Structure formats: C-alpha cells, structure tokens
Amino acid sequence: MENRKTILILTTGGTIAGKGVPGDITGYTPGAVTAGDLLGGLTVPSGVSLETVEVCSKNSDDIDCGDWHKLLTELRSGMERSDIAGMVVLHGTDTMEETAFLLSLTLEVKKPVVITGSMRPSTAISADGPLNIKNAMTLALCEKAARCGVLVTMDGGVYTAHGVTKRASYGSDAFEDEFYTPGRIFDDEVYLDFPDAGEPVFKDLDLSFPLPGVPVVYFTAGSDPKLLSLAAGISGGLVIAGAGAGEYSEGFGKVIEELSIPVVISSRTGRSYITEKMLLSERTVPAGALSPVKAAILLRLAIHAGYDAQGIRELFESGHGTAFNH
C-alpha cells in the first residue's frame, strides 16, 4: 500500500470561509462555508490526503482563550502523529498575527505549522483563499519549514510569527514581516531564508483556563489618564501603545507610578524598538520590537505562567520567547 502523507487542516472561520453576495468583497458572513467546500476544488499533491478539524467557526475578532486552547491541543496532538506531515490553520486575518505569535510561544514545532487566510470572501471575484490554501499546503509539506517555527503565508509571501503584521484593511498583499525578508512560494516551490526558531518558552503551559486580561491602552494627545485606572481595575497587566518611542503625558505617568500590575511600554508607530533607556518610568518594561498586540500576548502568557515582576522584565529583554538562533 502506498505510504500516504496527511496534512491536517484546522479551520476557525474568518473571511476565507466567508460567504456573501456573489462578486462582492464586503458585506459577507465570516465562517459560513464548510471546509469541504473550501477544499473541494483544490488539487491535492499526489500521495497526500487531507484531514479537517473544525476548531471554531467565527470572525477572528471573536477568537478567545478557549479557541486558542482547542487549537493548541489539536496542534500538539498532530505533532505526535506519525501520519501527519504538516498542519495548516485557516484563520481570519484581523487577529491572525496574535494567534500566530501565541502559538509560536506555546507550541514545540517538530513539523511544519502554517497559518493562512484571505482578504476576500470565498464568493468574491478573484477570491484569494484558494491560492493561499494551496500555498499553505505546499509549505506544510516542506520539511525545512519546521525549523522556522510557526509560519504565516499570504499572497505568496512567507512570514515568521514573530514579525508578521497586517498592514492594510484591503488588498491581497496586506501582510508583511517586520524583521525578515519574507520567504516566497512560486508554483509549488518554497524559498526560505529564515534562521532557526528558538525553543518556545511556554511549550508546557496549560491553556485550559482563561488567560488574564491585558488591554492595550492607546495614548493620544489629550488622553484622559483615568483610562489607565479603569483598565487597570479589570486587568492583570497593561500594555501602553505610546507615542514615538513609547512616550505619554505626565498625567499618564502619575497613574503608572501608582499601579501595582505589570506595565509594558510599546509604540503606536508600527515600526519601533523600545529600550530600557527610553522608558519614562523605572517600574515599566520595554516591549523591544514587539507591537502592542504581541506585547499583550507575551504579557498575558507570562502572568498566566506565574512570572514575577523581575521575571517579566527578563522575559521581554531575552528576545520575547521567540528569539532566533543565529
């Protein structure tokens, strides 16, 4: 009997499974199309079979800790199955970078894990989902991809979980990588030039119960400092998306000094690096190169894992748990 390889497809809903008025790219319902319909028209490589598991079916803005736990459980299980060559996660694009980063911190990658989605629903003209799925399957069969950790592919580009970000609300080329020149996929050929991914710092962490809340407070000129107090009252920690190099008003500063929860300082600029010397308060932690949303993911996991204030500082300074080995 032929020794067939299996790609495990994990679906979560999103635009890629969206359905709307035929031809339109807006006004659709996310997660309305089944995995069978999404995959039915695709050509599967010879000797490869597909297995699908529905983790959830929702807009990615509604992805929660329970969904992350289910997804991580399925991926960890797939890692242990000898018949699984690689795994593909179909995900909405709005929070794709957050799920990718969380998985990179918690999943020990021993075989390729690829996340993809689409910018247009399945019923749109020139829907980008089919090609993205085809590319994701190609990448999932590439053994070299496993050493790069959790990867994202969109519009032919390949991105690291650490660096991937959504830069536009439209267009199939809405994603980019903040740190590395993206890998590419051309006609079933994978081109990767990423360094090896480091050990996931939270690889044994139990996500079966909710992570603590860590909101991102976006500073703007005239922002009311009471926002920080209100957010802190219902949160385990805070991330501030500061102006420029993570800066904020004197009013914000006074509230920060009174808080007892961890506060991480990032930048709202979209391309930054926050260092210890840039901080306006010694009790805050620099986010380094992490975006506000990824800093929040790391802080949530750190608090959940029981890190104290010094441990959180060292975690952020160490390379954010996804440092690459050069």
Structure tokens at 159: 């991105």
Structure tokens at 265: 């300082």
Tell me the residue ranges of DSSP E strands in the chain: 5-13, 48-58, 84-90, 113-116, 151-154, 157-160, 164-166, 175-177, 183-186, 189-191, 196-197, 216-218, 238-242, 263-267, 285-286, 324-325
Which one from 11, 15, 99, 123 is the annotated catalytic residue? 15
In the residue annotation, 15 being an active-site residue is answered as: yes
φ and ψ at residue 227, rounded to 5 degrees:
-55, -40
Residues counted in the chain: 326
Q: Which of 16, 12, 10, 13 is nearest to 123 (CA)?
A: 16
CA 154, 132, 54 angle in degrees (round to 5)? 105
CB 111 within 8 A of CB 86: yes
Which residues are catalytically annotated? 15
